[in-house]
Amino acid sequence: MIAKPKGTYDLIGLDAKLYNYIYNVVQGYMDNYNYEFIRTPIFEASELFHRGVGETTDIVTKETYDFIDRGERNLTLRPEGTAGVVRSVIENKLYGNQNGPLKYYYFGTMYRYERPQAGRYREFSQMGVEVFNANDPMIDAEVISLGYNLLKELGIEKFTVHLNTLGDLTTRQNYTAALKKYLKPHLAELCPDCQKRYETNPLRIIDCKADKDNDVLKNVPKISDYLTDESKALFTKLKELLTILDIDYEIDERIVRGLDYYDYNVWEYVTDDANISLGGGGRYNNLVKTLDGPDMPAVGFAFGIDRVITELKNILGSQEFTNNVDVYIMSVNDEEKMQALRIAQDLRLNNVMTEINSNNLSLKSQFKMADSLKAKFLVILNSDDLQKGLVNIKDNVTKEEVKIDEGEIVDWILGNI
């Protein structure tokens, strides 16, 4: 037997049902906010992620799936969705002459060569949104609240938005200098990765998982003390807007995010009990320019769908998503089976979930099958009645039976389910 690759999993059973449920809710939901669907390739030029996500990030240094194709091109399976959407906006000149924001959402698989564990896979799915040509904190508030309300709509209640700001370039330069000065005497106490990050990406030391409980990190300087007036004013405005929108948020200065493109506001949606990050995002005003596009501020976030599925399973249990068939059509001989198939088509075209006996089951087994599918009605065919144009319908709960004209089945069922 050939096994699935490490860190991947088959989407089956309840997980598959919840995936479709999320997908369907998202589609309707994004229309309300006037976001357009976009799909970009699963593989892109490797350079896109090196320049986009950042040379020194964990993702680019340790986690990408890189390959050379038969035409000698350096390609990478996308580790996240933002860089590809930015590339598409630039390449297709989607920004055109627009005055207003460009709003996109996507759904798809991402690939990171991470150490597999609960909630961390090598192939995983994200749903994300990206808004371009948008500088006002109103858009940050819209995007943050969109994700917040979407999780609630899906049935997840117990989470909080962990919010931080990385400020502008001056803020980050001043803060990074202060952080390095503070950390220098403690370098030996940090994990080996953080010792490297000290030179390459010191901000990431703050949210290091290995050093989470290290006392050194408990007393690091606070970025809020280094914000320029402009950065502070923007953050204050955003907090006001989130309060107006009734969003549960808390300031969490450990949120610095693992990708290099962020500036100003960053946030994560974190579950209250297990502290799991269901999604995260932020503003990235320089990425479009870095990837050779126009100077265009942007903001976005992505949910990890696999983690959202796990959270929904914890909340809902398995009962909510079992298939409850509306009608099971019972047939034994060839004539009955042909009619069963035709009646099933009529019902299915009228949005009635219908199942038939396609496996030559005995009548007794068909009754059992109908019960296991939780069928509400049984349509019981027999040749004698069919010749008179009649069919029997049995309510599988009350056990009441009626005999009606075959031509009235659809109307009868629609009137009774």
- Summarize as ranges the residues that interact with ligand HAM (CB under 6 A): 80-82, 112, 114, 119-121, 124, 126, 128, 130, 258-259, 277-282, 300-302, 304, 306-307
Dist. CA 240–CA 211, nearest whole Å: 33
For β-strands 377-380 and 354-356, DSSP reports them as unpaired
Tell the smallest beta-carbon distance from residue 407 to ligand HAM (Å): 52
Tell the smallest beta-carbon distance from residue 104 to ligand HAM (Å): 10
Tell the smallest beta-carbon distance from residue 7 to ligand HAM (Å): 8
Residue 55 tokens read as 């040379």
Range list of H helices, 297-360? 305-316, 334-349
Nearer to ligand HAM, 198 or 262 (CB): 262
Residue 8 exposure: Cα atoms within 13 Å on the Cβ side: 9
Tell the smallest beta-carbon distance from residue 295 to ligand HAM (Å): 18
Nearer to ligand HAM, 136 or 406 (CB): 136
Tell the smallest beta-carbon distance from residue 402 to ligand HAM (Å): 52
Q: How many CB atoms lie within 10 A of CB 318?
A: 10
Tell the smallest beta-carbon distance from residue 401 to ligand HAM (Å): 51
Nearer to ligand HAM, 179 or 278 (CB): 278
Tell the smallest beta-carbon distance from residue 153 to ligand HAM (Å): 18
Query: Nearest residue by C-beta to ligand HAM?
Result: 304
Distance of alpha carbon 150 from the chain centroid: 10
Residue 370 tokens read as 């109908």
Residue 265 forms beta bridges with which residues?
A: 165
Residue 151 tokens read as 């999780």
Residue 37 exposure: Cα atoms within 13 Å on the Cβ side: 10
Nearer to ligand HAM, 84 or 221 (CB): 84
For β-strands 36-37 and 102-111, DSSP reports them as parallel
Tell the smallest beta-carbon distance from residue 125 to ligand HAM (Å): 8
Dist. CA 132–CA 197, nearest whole Å: 30
**Cβ–Cβ under 8 Å, residues 78 and 48:** no
Nearer to ligand HAM, 101 or 128 (CB): 128
Q: Residue type for 413, please?
A: I
Dist. CA 305–CA 22, nearest whole Å: 8
SS3 content of the chain, % helix, strand, coil (to 5): 45, 20, 35
Nearer to ligand HAM, 124 or 367 (CB): 124
Nearer to ligand HAM, 120 or 313 (CB): 120
Dist. CA 269–CA 151, nearest whole Å: 9
Nearer to ligand HAM, 127 or 330 (CB): 127
Tell the smallest beta-carbon distance from residue 81 to ligand HAM (Å): 5
Nearer to ligand HAM, 291 or 391 (CB): 291
